[in-house]
Amino acid sequence: MAGKELNCIYGICNLIDTPGIFMEEILQETVQLLPSAFRYPSMACARILLEGHPYETADYQESKWRLEADIKVKDSVSGIIEVNYRQEPPEDGDAPFLQEEVKMLDIAANYLGLVIERKRAEEEIAHLATHDALTDLPTLLLARDRLGMAISLARRNKTAVAVMFLDLDGFKAINESLGHEAGDYILIRTGQRLLACVRESDTVARVGGDEFLIIASGIHDLGNAEKIVERVHALISQPILFKRNRTIVGGASIGISLYPDDGAEMEALIKRAEEAMHTAKKSGRKPFRIADSSVSA
Protein backbone atom coordinates (compact mmCIF):
# COMPACT_ATOMS: atom_id res chain seq x y z
CA MET A 1 0.00 0.00 0.00
CA ALA A 2 1.39 3.41 -1.02
CA GLY A 3 2.40 6.09 1.46
CA LYS A 4 -0.66 8.34 1.17
CA GLU A 5 -3.07 5.43 1.67
CA LEU A 6 -1.13 4.36 4.76
CA ASN A 7 -1.12 7.94 6.04
CA CYS A 8 -4.91 8.03 5.71
CA ILE A 9 -5.26 4.78 7.67
CA TYR A 10 -2.90 6.10 10.36
CA GLY A 11 -4.94 9.29 10.52
CA ILE A 12 -8.16 7.31 11.04
CA CYS A 13 -6.47 5.21 13.75
CA ASN A 14 -5.34 8.39 15.53
CA LEU A 15 -8.91 9.73 15.44
CA ILE A 16 -10.26 6.49 16.88
CA ASP A 17 -7.71 6.58 19.73
CA THR A 18 -8.30 10.24 20.62
CA PRO A 19 -9.60 10.39 24.23
CA GLY A 20 -13.08 11.84 24.67
CA ILE A 21 -13.82 12.16 20.95
CA PHE A 22 -17.43 11.70 19.84
CA MET A 23 -18.43 9.20 17.16
CA GLU A 24 -19.79 12.02 14.97
CA GLU A 25 -16.39 13.73 15.04
CA ILE A 26 -14.59 10.52 14.07
CA LEU A 27 -16.90 10.02 11.09
CA GLN A 28 -16.71 13.61 9.86
CA GLU A 29 -12.93 13.81 10.24
CA THR A 30 -12.53 10.45 8.47
CA VAL A 31 -14.52 11.80 5.52
CA GLN A 32 -12.20 14.81 5.34
CA LEU A 33 -9.11 12.56 5.31
CA LEU A 34 -10.21 10.31 2.45
CA PRO A 35 -9.94 12.51 -0.71
CA SER A 36 -6.23 13.23 -0.23
CA ALA A 37 -5.50 9.48 -0.25
CA PHE A 38 -6.72 9.03 -3.86
CA ARG A 39 -4.94 9.52 -7.17
CA TYR A 40 -6.83 12.69 -8.09
CA PRO A 41 -7.45 14.40 -4.74
CA SER A 42 -8.62 17.65 -6.30
CA MET A 43 -11.55 15.81 -7.89
CA ALA A 44 -12.29 13.37 -5.06
CA CYS A 45 -15.11 13.77 -2.55
CA ALA A 46 -16.27 11.41 0.18
CA ARG A 47 -19.31 10.46 2.24
CA ILE A 48 -20.12 8.13 5.11
CA LEU A 49 -23.77 7.10 5.41
CA LEU A 50 -24.52 5.55 8.79
CA GLU A 51 -28.09 4.50 9.65
CA GLY A 52 -29.48 7.15 7.31
CA HIS A 53 -27.29 10.00 8.61
CA PRO A 54 -24.76 11.41 6.10
CA TYR A 55 -21.27 12.74 6.85
CA GLU A 56 -19.87 14.44 3.73
CA THR A 57 -17.09 16.60 2.41
CA ALA A 58 -18.30 20.11 1.56
CA ASP A 59 -17.99 19.46 -2.20
CA TYR A 60 -19.66 16.05 -2.16
CA GLN A 61 -21.56 14.92 -5.25
CA GLU A 62 -22.38 11.49 -6.62
CA SER A 63 -20.93 10.27 -9.89
CA LYS A 64 -20.49 7.06 -11.85
CA TRP A 65 -16.85 7.00 -10.72
CA ARG A 66 -17.59 5.68 -7.31
CA LEU A 67 -15.88 3.35 -4.85
CA GLU A 68 -17.64 2.12 -1.73
CA ALA A 69 -17.27 -0.34 1.17
CA ASP A 70 -19.77 -1.61 3.71
CA ILE A 71 -19.45 -0.65 7.37
CA LYS A 72 -20.38 -3.75 9.35
CA VAL A 73 -21.24 -3.85 13.04
CA LYS A 74 -21.50 -7.38 14.47
CA ASP A 75 -21.66 -8.81 10.93
CA SER A 76 -24.62 -6.60 9.96
CA VAL A 77 -24.28 -3.73 7.47
CA SER A 78 -24.91 -0.45 9.32
CA GLY A 79 -23.67 1.95 6.67
CA ILE A 80 -21.33 2.62 3.78
CA ILE A 81 -18.18 4.61 3.19
CA GLU A 82 -17.73 5.93 -0.35
CA VAL A 83 -15.48 8.08 -2.52
CA ASN A 84 -16.61 9.71 -5.78
CA TYR A 85 -14.77 11.61 -8.49
CA ARG A 86 -16.82 14.72 -9.27
CA GLN A 87 -15.87 14.33 -12.95
CA GLU A 88 -14.33 11.59 -15.01
CA PRO A 89 -10.63 11.07 -14.22
CA PRO A 90 -8.13 11.44 -17.06
CA GLU A 91 -8.04 8.52 -19.46
CA ASP A 92 -4.75 6.75 -18.87
CA GLY A 93 -5.71 3.17 -19.53
CA ASP A 94 -6.04 2.27 -15.84
CA ALA A 95 -9.10 1.26 -13.89
CA PRO A 96 -10.80 4.23 -12.16
CA PHE A 97 -9.52 3.14 -8.73
CA LEU A 98 -6.25 1.49 -7.80
CA GLN A 99 -6.16 -1.75 -5.84
CA GLU A 100 -4.41 0.13 -3.03
CA GLU A 101 -7.36 2.53 -2.86
CA VAL A 102 -9.88 -0.32 -2.79
CA LYS A 103 -7.92 -2.01 0.00
CA MET A 104 -7.61 1.25 1.96
CA LEU A 105 -11.36 1.86 1.84
CA ASP A 106 -12.05 -1.71 3.01
CA ILE A 107 -9.63 -1.25 5.94
CA ALA A 108 -11.17 2.12 6.83
CA ALA A 109 -14.68 0.61 6.77
CA ASN A 110 -13.51 -2.25 8.99
CA TYR A 111 -11.93 0.15 11.51
CA LEU A 112 -15.10 2.27 11.62
CA GLY A 113 -17.26 -0.82 12.20
CA LEU A 114 -15.08 -1.85 15.13
CA VAL A 115 -15.08 1.59 16.73
CA ILE A 116 -18.87 1.97 16.29
CA GLU A 117 -19.33 -1.39 18.02
CA ARG A 118 -16.99 -0.33 20.84
CA LYS A 119 -18.67 3.06 21.30
CA ARG A 120 -22.12 1.45 21.43
CA ALA A 121 -20.92 -1.02 24.06
CA GLU A 122 -19.52 1.85 26.14
CA GLU A 123 -22.82 3.75 25.82
CA GLU A 124 -24.79 0.67 26.86
CA ILE A 125 -22.59 0.14 29.93
CA ALA A 126 -22.93 3.81 30.89
CA HIS A 127 -26.71 3.61 30.42
CA LEU A 128 -27.01 0.50 32.59
CA ALA A 129 -25.00 2.20 35.33
CA THR A 130 -27.46 5.10 35.56
CA HIS A 131 -30.81 3.53 34.60
CA ASP A 132 -33.07 1.02 36.32
CA ALA A 133 -32.97 -2.37 34.62
CA LEU A 134 -36.73 -2.98 34.94
CA THR A 135 -38.29 0.38 34.04
CA ASP A 136 -35.34 1.97 32.17
CA LEU A 137 -35.92 5.10 34.26
CA PRO A 138 -32.97 7.01 35.74
CA THR A 139 -31.69 5.76 39.09
CA LEU A 140 -31.24 7.95 42.18
CA LEU A 141 -27.62 8.54 41.14
CA LEU A 142 -28.64 10.16 37.86
CA ALA A 143 -31.65 11.90 39.46
CA ARG A 144 -29.31 13.62 41.95
CA ASP A 145 -27.15 14.84 39.09
CA ARG A 146 -30.15 16.22 37.21
CA LEU A 147 -31.55 17.84 40.34
CA GLY A 148 -28.24 19.58 40.90
CA MET A 149 -28.35 20.96 37.36
CA ALA A 150 -32.00 22.00 37.77
CA ILE A 151 -31.15 23.90 40.98
CA SER A 152 -28.25 25.70 39.29
CA LEU A 153 -30.49 26.71 36.39
CA ALA A 154 -33.27 27.85 38.73
CA ARG A 155 -30.80 29.93 40.73
CA ARG A 156 -29.73 31.76 37.58
CA ASN A 157 -33.25 32.21 36.19
CA LYS A 158 -34.89 32.93 39.57
CA THR A 159 -37.40 30.11 39.08
CA ALA A 160 -38.33 27.12 41.24
CA VAL A 161 -37.77 23.35 41.19
CA ALA A 162 -40.30 20.87 42.53
CA VAL A 163 -39.19 17.53 43.96
CA MET A 164 -41.94 14.92 44.30
CA PHE A 165 -41.35 11.67 46.17
CA LEU A 166 -43.89 8.99 45.31
CA ASP A 167 -44.57 5.64 46.98
CA LEU A 168 -47.14 3.17 45.64
CA ASP A 169 -49.98 2.25 48.02
CA GLY A 170 -50.61 -1.43 48.64
CA PHE A 171 -47.73 -2.58 46.45
CA LYS A 172 -46.51 -5.22 48.92
CA ALA A 173 -49.96 -6.80 49.05
CA ILE A 174 -50.11 -6.91 45.23
CA ASN A 175 -46.70 -8.58 45.10
CA GLU A 176 -47.68 -11.16 47.71
CA SER A 177 -51.11 -11.99 46.26
CA LEU A 178 -50.37 -11.88 42.53
CA GLY A 179 -46.63 -12.57 42.42
CA HIS A 180 -43.56 -10.68 41.29
CA GLU A 181 -44.58 -10.75 37.63
CA ALA A 182 -47.60 -8.61 38.46
CA GLY A 183 -45.48 -6.39 40.70
CA ASP A 184 -42.93 -5.82 37.93
CA TYR A 185 -45.72 -5.02 35.49
CA ILE A 186 -47.18 -2.45 37.90
CA LEU A 187 -43.77 -0.77 38.26
CA ILE A 188 -43.26 -0.61 34.49
CA ARG A 189 -46.75 0.81 33.86
CA THR A 190 -46.30 3.30 36.71
CA GLY A 191 -43.09 4.57 35.16
CA GLN A 192 -44.82 4.96 31.79
CA ARG A 193 -47.73 6.83 33.35
CA LEU A 194 -45.45 9.17 35.28
CA LEU A 195 -43.58 10.04 32.09
CA ALA A 196 -46.92 10.86 30.46
CA CYS A 197 -47.66 13.38 33.24
CA VAL A 198 -44.52 15.48 32.96
CA ARG A 199 -42.69 17.56 30.39
CA GLU A 200 -39.76 16.27 28.36
CA SER A 201 -37.43 18.52 30.38
CA ASP A 202 -38.53 16.94 33.70
CA THR A 203 -37.05 13.80 35.24
CA VAL A 204 -38.83 10.68 36.45
CA ALA A 205 -36.60 8.25 38.38
CA ARG A 206 -37.08 4.96 40.19
CA VAL A 207 -35.28 5.34 43.51
CA GLY A 208 -36.43 2.27 45.45
CA GLY A 209 -38.56 -0.86 45.23
CA ASP A 210 -41.85 0.99 44.67
CA GLU A 211 -40.57 4.54 45.11
CA PHE A 212 -40.25 7.13 42.37
CA LEU A 213 -38.90 10.66 42.20
CA ILE A 214 -40.14 13.43 39.91
CA ILE A 215 -38.04 16.56 39.33
CA ALA A 216 -39.93 19.41 37.68
CA SER A 217 -37.68 22.33 36.78
CA GLY A 218 -38.47 25.82 35.57
CA ILE A 219 -41.74 26.17 37.47
CA HIS A 220 -42.85 29.40 39.13
CA ASP A 221 -44.57 28.41 42.36
CA LEU A 222 -46.11 25.66 44.45
CA GLY A 223 -49.34 25.90 42.47
CA ASN A 224 -47.53 24.62 39.37
CA ALA A 225 -46.19 21.65 41.36
CA GLU A 226 -49.61 20.82 42.77
CA LYS A 227 -51.10 20.72 39.26
CA ILE A 228 -48.47 18.19 38.25
CA VAL A 229 -49.14 16.08 41.35
CA GLU A 230 -52.90 16.15 40.69
CA ARG A 231 -52.30 14.84 37.16
CA VAL A 232 -49.96 12.17 38.52
CA HIS A 233 -52.42 11.00 41.17
CA ALA A 234 -55.33 10.91 38.71
CA LEU A 235 -53.38 8.76 36.26
CA ILE A 236 -51.77 6.49 38.87
CA SER A 237 -55.20 5.78 40.35
CA GLN A 238 -56.53 4.45 37.04
CA PRO A 239 -56.97 0.63 36.99
CA ILE A 240 -54.24 -1.44 35.34
CA LEU A 241 -55.28 -4.48 33.29
CA PHE A 242 -52.97 -7.40 33.98
CA LYS A 243 -53.02 -10.43 31.66
CA ARG A 244 -56.43 -9.48 30.19
CA ASN A 245 -58.43 -10.98 33.03
CA ARG A 246 -57.36 -9.14 36.16
CA THR A 247 -57.73 -5.45 36.94
CA ILE A 248 -55.42 -3.96 39.55
CA VAL A 249 -56.44 -0.73 41.23
CA GLY A 250 -53.75 1.13 43.08
CA GLY A 251 -52.75 4.57 44.18
CA ALA A 252 -49.80 6.49 45.54
CA SER A 253 -48.73 8.75 48.37
CA ILE A 254 -46.75 11.78 47.25
CA GLY A 255 -44.63 14.32 49.08
CA ILE A 256 -43.62 17.65 47.57
CA SER A 257 -40.70 19.95 48.35
CA LEU A 258 -39.80 23.13 46.52
CA TYR A 259 -36.54 24.89 45.79
CA PRO A 260 -35.77 27.43 47.21
CA ASP A 261 -38.60 27.49 49.80
CA ASP A 262 -37.76 24.11 51.37
CA GLY A 263 -34.00 24.18 50.97
CA ALA A 264 -31.15 25.07 48.66
CA GLU A 265 -29.41 21.69 48.66
CA MET A 266 -30.62 18.69 46.70
CA GLU A 267 -30.28 16.19 49.56
CA ALA A 268 -32.43 18.40 51.82
CA LEU A 269 -35.09 18.70 49.11
CA ILE A 270 -35.22 14.93 48.54
CA LYS A 271 -35.37 14.27 52.29
CA ARG A 272 -38.19 16.76 52.85
CA ALA A 273 -40.18 15.39 49.93
CA GLU A 274 -39.77 11.85 51.31
CA GLU A 275 -40.82 12.95 54.80
CA ALA A 276 -43.90 14.66 53.35
CA MET A 277 -44.73 11.44 51.46
CA HIS A 278 -44.60 9.41 54.69
CA THR A 279 -46.87 11.97 56.36
CA ALA A 280 -49.36 11.68 53.48
CA LYS A 281 -49.28 7.87 53.69
CA LYS A 282 -49.90 7.85 57.44
CA SER A 283 -52.74 10.36 57.30
CA GLY A 284 -54.60 8.55 54.52
CA ARG A 285 -56.81 11.61 54.02
CA LYS A 286 -54.98 13.29 51.16
CA PRO A 287 -52.87 11.60 48.47
CA PHE A 288 -50.13 14.23 48.63
CA ARG A 289 -48.54 16.43 51.25
CA ILE A 290 -46.38 19.55 50.98
CA ALA A 291 -43.11 19.62 52.92
CA ASP A 292 -43.05 21.58 56.16
CA SER A 293 -40.25 24.07 55.58
CA SER A 294 -40.30 25.07 59.25
CA VAL A 295 -38.73 21.69 60.15
CA SER A 296 -34.97 21.59 59.65
CA ALA A 297 -33.69 18.93 57.29
Q: List pLDDT tens digits, range 247-273.
A: 887 788 999 999 998 888 999 999 999
Query: Among 50, 102, 99, 47, which Cα is nearest to 71's?
Result: 50
**What global pTM score does this model have?**
0.70
Average pLDDT of the residues in 221-247: 84
Q: Does 210 participate in catalysis according to the annotation?
A: yes
Please give the angle made by the CA atoms of 123, 124 and 125, to the nearest 5 degrees: 90
Residue of 169, 279, 139 whose CA lies nearest to 233: 169
pLDDT value at position 97?
A: 86
Checking if the pLDDT of 297 tops 50, the result is no
- Residue 94: what pLDDT? 64
On the question of pLDDT at 103 being above 90, the answer is yes
pLDDT at 142 exceeding the cut of 50: yes
Measured CA to CA, the distance from residue 62 to residue 54 in angstroms comes to 13
Q: How confident is the model at residue 284 (pLDDT cuts 50, 70, 90)?
A: low
DSSP 88: P
Instruction: Name the band, by pLDDT with cuts 50, 70 and 90, for residue 70.
Output: very high
pLDDT value at residue 243: 78
Q: Where are the alpha helices (DSSP H) in the chain?
A: 3-16, 23-33, 99-130, 140-157, 171-178, 180-197, 222-236, 266-283
Q: How confident is the model at residue 148 (pLDDT cuts 50, 70, 90)?
A: very high
Q: What is the mean pLDDT of the chain?
A: 88
Q: How far is C-alpha 222 from the chain's CA centre?
A: 29
Active-site residue identified among 167, 169, 210, 262: 210
pLDDT for res 20: 83
pLDDT, mean of residues 129-151: 94
Over range 124-139, report the average pLDDT: 93
Q: How many CB atoms lie within 10 A of CB 137?
A: 23
pLDDT > 70 fraction of the chain, expressed in percent and rounded: 94
